[in-house]
Amino acid sequence: MKDVMFHKDFIGSIHYSTDDEVFYGKIEGIDDSVGFEGSSVEELKLAFHEAVEDYVKLCEMNGKQPQKAYKGSFNIRISPELHRKAAREAAVRGISLNQFIEGAIKEKVSP
């Protein structure tokens, strides 16, 4: 698992700067750039929670949805060999390549 934290329905990515000796991160899955930092794990957690709360309030004040909207389609780049194998497996199962890929993603993503 990557270095992440959770608060409400938000994910915060976590990093450490050896130059500044500080933990820092950003809220993932939003259309804006919101960062946070702390010199200890506890400070980082508190800063992340405060960043989420402030962001949600700001979105409410501006009538904006806080979570990023997804359209349900995206492009991926894979090797030609993997593409061929996936297309063949989809054909064997009698489904489209799109249905096959969607099923594979569902297997890997937690509910």
Q: Would you give per-residue pLDDT tens digits along the chain (111 residues)? A: 589 999 999 999 999 999 999 999 999 999 999 999 999 999 999 999 999 999 999 999 999 999 999 999 999 999 999 999 999 999 999 999 999 999 999 999 976
Distance of alpha carbon 28 from alpha carbon 14, whole angstroms: 10
Ranges of each domain in the chain: 4-61, 71-111
Bridge partner list, 17: 22
The whole-angstrom separation of Cα 43 and Cα 72 is: 36
